Structure 1
Amino acid sequence: MKTNWIFLVIAVLFLAGCGNKTKKTVNNDRVVDGTRIIHFSGYDWRVGNSKDNRQGPGPNYFSDSKENVWLDDGGNLHLKITHRDGRWNCAKISLLESHGYGTYIFHVASRVDGFDKNVVGGLFTYANDTSEIDIEFSKWAKDTTEDSQFVIQPGWNPGNHYRYFLDQTGEQSTHWFNWQPDSVVFASYQGNVGDNPPANQLMAQWTYTGVDNPKPGKEAAKINLWLYRGNPPTDGKEVEMVLSGFEFRK
């Protein structure tokens, strides 16, 4: 069983491609029909904006301001929870294309293991609340608990989530899931890794083979940074999450 597991992990990493193929492109930030679009890592993403209404997750206020979502000169994506005019504003983006089965790889360039207990960072695909695959960084308002999880929604169903500690040693980390008809394989690694990362950089891994594996359809990859139940950070500080790249591999 252990041998089969190691083989599966190596096979999935092979599907992810050789080396780090993260695309860096110039920022062609634009507005289309009132919606802000950014071009991150070779893909177009819609920036979420709830205006003066709270919306999920949370619920929270989500802002498309460049104070909340922006690309730096190196092509890195910044998502930030800010406090302006007495209101906490969160950040989320959604890929314009739907890709279906394959490997979704997120290269994170900031520490996400030290978030305030009310903060949630999400890397995921979403079609609806019961058709969703998540990698999430959060303590869910608890003082003593793991800071991360892999989830197949509905997450409350038995066997649909796996909690773990990130225990990062540096700013960079890589997180992915390989979504196939019969399974979803998750992994989190130290560093900005590509194909065949060293075993000692593995932080967590999990394979899901249950009945709630979503079917492809109208799902899209998404990245968000938000507040659990809309409650502000307990330390009152703004929060930022940075990604250096996103990859999709069939």
Structure 2
Amino acid sequence: MNRNSILSILFLLGLLACGPKRLQREYMPHSVHFAHRDWWIKSSPEIQGPGSNVFSYRNVWVDWQGHLHLKVREKDNRWTCAEVYTKDSLGYGRYEMEVEGQLGDLDPYLVFGFFTWDPHTFEDQANSEIDIEFSRWGFPLAPRVLHYSVHPVSLQKLFLERFQSSNSNPQNWNGRSRHIMEWRDTSITFYSYRINRRDEELLESFHYSFKNPPRKKGVEGQFSEAITVPKPGESNQARFNLWIFGAKEAPLNERETEIIIRDFRYEAY
């Protein structure tokens, strides 16, 4: 066996050895420190929800200014998404983010979400989920891009009182904006501000209260208890994500997208 053949075999063995290590690294827990908090990064080579996505720690980082970056990108012919969530448990309170990006021109297949979630409260509190989301939900000509919701928002039909889609011009959300969720035991109120050079302007709000009818959540044949305003569970988290909607394997325009969360604040009530 000549020298070149030996080198080729050694190279192939090296690739085989690195493969499991790369997979192991994807499964390892990764975290970032942002806005005076520690955040877990969702990362796995397997498909996970929301949608049918692969999430990678490589799509999340904090820059030298302390801003959190989320990115959807392609590597090795595979599109991957980004999600982070607080290590500590949060409850009733004021959740606030300042975000920067072209949210008004977000790819029709992409969703940027700022929301609360508890993995253990499906049966009694519909996962304690409230959302601010930017998306056109797969419709390129959809005129609305900003949406508020208090889950559950649907069970065979939409519960119209549990969500609101903003009529504001989507271009208002290009650049910097500030968004707030005020979560109390009797109500949830949302606010969205456009940040200009010298000031900011309130462009959208939505108020939801216990006076609305209770609703159930249905998932794969299971149903939650009927709820009005969800209660936070013991593992309630604040989350940010950027992901591909539905069963799509890539953004419609097949371009990488990056969103910057400049700040996050939480004040307990």
Letter in 1 for 2:49: G
Secondary structure of the 1:168 match is helix
Q: TM-score, normalised by structure 1?
A: 0.79
When normalised by structure 2's length, the TM-score is 0.74
Give the Cα separation in 1 of the matches to 2:102 and 2:187: 29
Contact (CA 8 Å) 1:111, 1:168: kept in 2 or not?
A: no
Larger Rg: 2
1:177 to 173, 176, 181: 181
Instruction: Give the corresponding residue for 1:45.
Output: 39
Q: What displacement does 1:169 show?
A: 6.5
Moved over 3 A (4+): none
Q: Which amino acid aligns with 2:135?
A: S
Contact in 2 for aligned 1:107/1:192 (Cα 8 Å): no
In the other structure, the counterpart of 2:141 is 144
Residue 192 of structure 1, CA deviation: 7.8
Indicate which of 203, 228, 239 corresponds to 2:245: 228
| CA deviation map 1:182-215 (0-9, x unaligned) | 100001100189xxx75xx112100011333211
Which one has the bigger helix percentage?
A: 2
Matches within 5 A, 1:156-195: 156=154, 157-164=159-166, 165=168, 166-168=170-172, 171-191=175-195
Q: Is the 8 A contact 1:135 1:149 kept in 2?
A: yes
2:30 aligned to which of 36, 42, 49 = 36
Contact 2:103–2:173, Cα closer than 8 Å, also in 1: no
Residue number in structure 1 paired with 2:232? 216
Does the alignment pair 1:81 with 2:97? no
Deviations 1:19-40 (A, max 9, x none): xxxxxxxxxxxx9x93111000
Give the aligned residue type for 1:205: S
Q: 1:124 to 1:192 in 2, by over 3 A?
A: farther
User: Structure 1: any 5+ residue segments left out of the alignment?
Assistant: 1-30
Partner amino acid, structure 2, of 1:139 = R
Does the CA contact (< 8 Å) of 1:108 and 1:192 recur in 2?
no
Unaligned runs of 5+ in 2: 1-24, 215-227
Question: What secondary structure is seen at the aligned counterpart in 1 of 2:153?
Answer: coil
Tell me the number of residue pairs that the alignment of Structure 1 and Structure 2 aligns: 211
Q: Once the 2 structures are TM-superposed, how far is the Cα of residue 45 of structure 1 from its aligned partner? A: 0.1
Q: Which range is displaced more, 239-248 or 226-235?
A: 226-235
In 1, Cα distance between equivalents of 2:173 and 2:103? 11
- Are positions 1:244 and 2:262 aligned together? yes
What is the alpha-carbon distance in structure 2 between the residues aligned to residue 180 and residue 169 of structure 1? 27
Quote the RMSD (CA, aligned, Å).
2.0
Sequence identity percentage: 33
Specify whether residues 90 and 170 from structure 1 end up closer, same or farther in structure 2 by C-alpha distance, changes over 3 A only. closer
Matched AA of 1:155: V
CA contact (8 A) 1:83 1:238 kept: yes
